[in-house]
Amino acid sequence: MRLLIVEDDPMIGESLREALRRQGFAADWVHDGQAADAVLASGERFDAVLLDLGLPRRSGIEVLKALRARGDSTPVVVLTARDALTDKVAGLDAGADDYLVKPFELDELLARLRAVTRRHGGRTATTLQVADLRLDPATREVSRAGRSILLSAREFALLEALLERPGAIVSRAQLEDRLYGWGEELESNAISVYMHQLRKKLGADLLHTVRGLGYYAGPEKGTAPMPAGPEKGSAA
Ligand code: CA
């Protein structure tokens, strides 16, 4: 999951970014409202935004209103230091999906992130699954046919990105964006190395490469074009 942290307090911003990166998120951090605006309007895609309200140069509420005015539905969790009802109401009314009052526990933030991204993706199930391969974002458990499989944080993040939309091809660049924040060291073949490791651990039958396009999870799709009408000899 790729996250943007908008926070002017250097202690909170830094510790939040490091904690989220340790969890395997690609987390980027901007320090004021104008920088947040610029990044969010640039077309760079985030799975969720953690937005402080009291910011220099442009308030969090203004950043949020501008985001929604652009028709951007990226989930936003408002972080507010003040336990003021007006802040929560203003945030939600401006288009926030949820809010957290500082100081908060990392576990609660992670649960809220899972909830807002699940809703945004139109999913009601809390686990991701194709065939007998199952991933639980909350417990971070992966299993195949009921057998638990241990993955590294990056392998988990990569598999999660693919399982969110089974059958949909995700490009290498999209996966790199999901796995790496700004300034994080990235080998050019990193994604194919992780794919190789995932196939070794999970079996190769559910993880596929489409040359030149990217990767998908699910049963292998046939390479033949879809027939226009009923196939010759088909039972239908
Ligand atoms: Ca602040």
pLDDT digit string, tens, across residues 143-179: 999 999 999 989 999 999 999 999 999 999 999 988 8
141 CA distance to ligand 1 middle (Å): 35
34 Cα–ligand 1 center, Å:
13
Predicted confidence band at 228 (pLDDT cuts at 50, 70, 90)? Answer: low
pLDDT for residue 106: 93
Q: What's the confidence (pLDDT) of residue 195?
A: 96
| Centroid of ligand 1 to alpha carbon of 23 (angstroms) | 24
**Locus of tokens 């809010």:** 99
**Ligand 1 center to 71 CA (angstroms):** 25
pLDDT range class, residue 232, cuts 50, 70, 90: very low
For residue 83, the model assigns a pLDDT of 65
pLDDT mean over 39-46: 93
For the stretch 191-196, contacts whose Cβ atoms lie closer than 8 Å and that sit 24 or more positions apart, written own/partner, are 191/158, 191/215, 194/154, 194/155, 194/158, 195/158
Domain boundary assignment for the chain: 2-120, 128-217
Q: What is the pLDDT of residues 80-131, one digit of tens each?
A: 876 677 888 888 999 999 999 988 999 999 999 999 999 988 887 889 999 9
Quote the ligand 1 centre to 153 CA distance (angstroms): 30
Instruction: With a cut of 80, say whether residue 207 has pLDDT above it.
Output: yes
Mean pLDDT (whole number) for 44-49: 94
99 DSSP 8-state letter: E
Distance between Cα 47 and ligand 1 center (Å): 22
Comparing CA positions, the residue from 219, 179, 182, 183 lying closest to residue 195 is 179
Q: What is the mean pLDDT of the chain?
A: 90
Distance 77 CA to ligand 1 centre (A): 14
Hey, how many other C-beta atoms are within 10 angstroms of the C-beta on 132? 12
Q: What pLDDT band is residue 74 in, cutting at 50, 70 and 90? A: very high
For residue 103, whether the previous peptide bond is cis, meaning omega lies within 30 degrees of 0, is yes
Fold classified for 2-120 = Rossmann fold (3.40.50)
CATH architecture, range 128-217: Orthogonal Bundle (1.10)
Distance CA 144, CA 200 (A): 12
**CA–centroid distance, residue 53 to ligand 1 (Å):** 6
Least reliable range by pLDDT among 16-20, 84-88, 187-191: 84-88
Quote the pLDDT of residue 182: 83
Q: How far is the CA of 102 from the centre of ligand 1 (A)?
A: 10
pTM above 0.85, yes or no: no
Closest CA to 177 of 16, 3, 40: 3
- C-alpha 43 – ligand 1 centre gap (Å): 25
- pLDDT for 234 beyond 70: no
pLDDT tops 80 at residue 204: yes
